[in-house]
Amino acid sequence: SMPTEFGMVYTREELAALYATCQKYDLRLFIDGARLGYGLVSAACDYDLPFLAKHCDVFYIGGTKVGAMMGEAVVFSGMKAPKYFFTNVKRHGALLAKGRMLGIQFDTLFTDELYFKISRHAIATATRIRSIFEKHGITIAYDSPTNQQFVVLSPALYEALSQKVAFEIWERKSGHEIICRFVTSWATKEEELDELDRILQAYA
């Protein structure tokens, strides 16, 4: 997936090498792009959408995670859809009725770079979340450059935060430490980050 479940981004060199290996062994490379916008606008990403499209066989362009009502766009690079793909979609009941409504969402998202503006907003707010945690001496678990931030919480702080803030447990470590994931989106507001800062200040 791009970015990965840990918020990491493949480099241009890594993606090219991965695709070259797939071609060497006649394998197809699929990239799960449910969070694609957040990866592409990340400061850690050194390529753009056309480069990604040229270095895989099929990928998703995520919709719901950037504010669409539903769905993801499946893109076959170079129009290389499998034989009878669209026929099979219909035969297996996977063709959305009124599919134009789904398409309008992506048309809107890719007008005036809205898709990327939304993604940049999420990364900016995630960067601020990271700064807030660092300010209060909370350990960052993974160096994620995207809209997912992972922090190490004590059980006591986890219990206190979970009463007031929406986030999830990612992993329970030995020694009772808990790695938690905080995710920002198009809907994240600065006021919510201010509130997080105040809550953490109370437990400092």
Q: Are residues 16 and 106 in the same domain?
A: yes
Q: What is residue 3's predicted lDDT score, i.e. its pLDDT?
A: 95
Which residue intervals of the chain are DSSP H helices?
A: 12-24, 36-40, 49-54, 85-91, 99-109, 114-135, 155-162, 190-202
Average pLDDT over residues 130-151: 97
Domain boundary among 89, 114, 139: 114
Q: What is residue 8's predicted lDDT score, i.e. its pLDDT?
A: 96
Residue 174 is classified by DSSP as G
Which residue intervals of 61-139 are DSSP H helices?
A: 85-91, 99-109, 114-135
Domain boundary among 114, 131, 152: 114
Average pLDDT over residues 25-29: 96
pLDDT above 70 (res 204): no
> Residue 100: pLDDT band by 50, 70, 90 thresholds?
confident
Q: Are residues 21 and 84 in the same domain?
A: yes
- Domain holding 16: CATH number? 3.40.640.10
Q: Are residues 132 and 85 in the same domain?
A: no
Q: Are residues 175 and 138 in the same domain?
A: yes
Strand 30-31 and strand 58-62: the pairing is: parallel
Average pLDDT over residues 177-199: 96
Q: Are residues 55 and 140 in the same domain?
A: no
pTM value is 0.89
Average pLDDT over residues 89-94: 89
pLDDT above 80 (res 59): yes
21-30, 95-104, 116-125, 130-139: segment of lowest average pLDDT: 95-104
> Residue 143: pLDDT band by 50, 70, 90 thresholds?
very high
Q: Domain count of the chain?
A: 2
Q: 170-183: per-residue pLDDT in tens? A: 999 877 899 999 99
Residue span of the structural domain in which 185 resides: 120-202
Average pLDDT over residues 9-25: 98
Q: Are residues 102 and 127 in the same domain?
A: no
Q: Comparing C-alpha atoms, which of 141, 127, 108 is closest to residue 184?
A: 127
pLDDT above 80 (res 15): yes
- Domain holding 147: CATH number? 3.90.1150.10
> Exposed, middle or buried by CB within 10 Å (0-12, 13-18, 19+), for 25?
exposed
pLDDT above 70 (res 188): yes
Q: Are residues 77 and 24 in the same domain?
A: yes
Q: Are residues 16 and 109 in the same domain?
A: yes
Average pLDDT, the chain: 94
Average pLDDT over residues 175-193: 94
Q: Are residues 176 and 155 in the same domain?
A: yes
Q: Are residues 138 and 80 in the same domain?
A: no
Residue 173 is classified by DSSP as P
Evaluate whether residue 2 is within a structural domain. no
Query: Could you give the C-alpha distances from 181 to 7, 41, 140, 155, 196, in angstroms and in order?
Result: 10, 20, 10, 15, 14
Q: Are residues 67 and 89 in the same domain?
A: yes
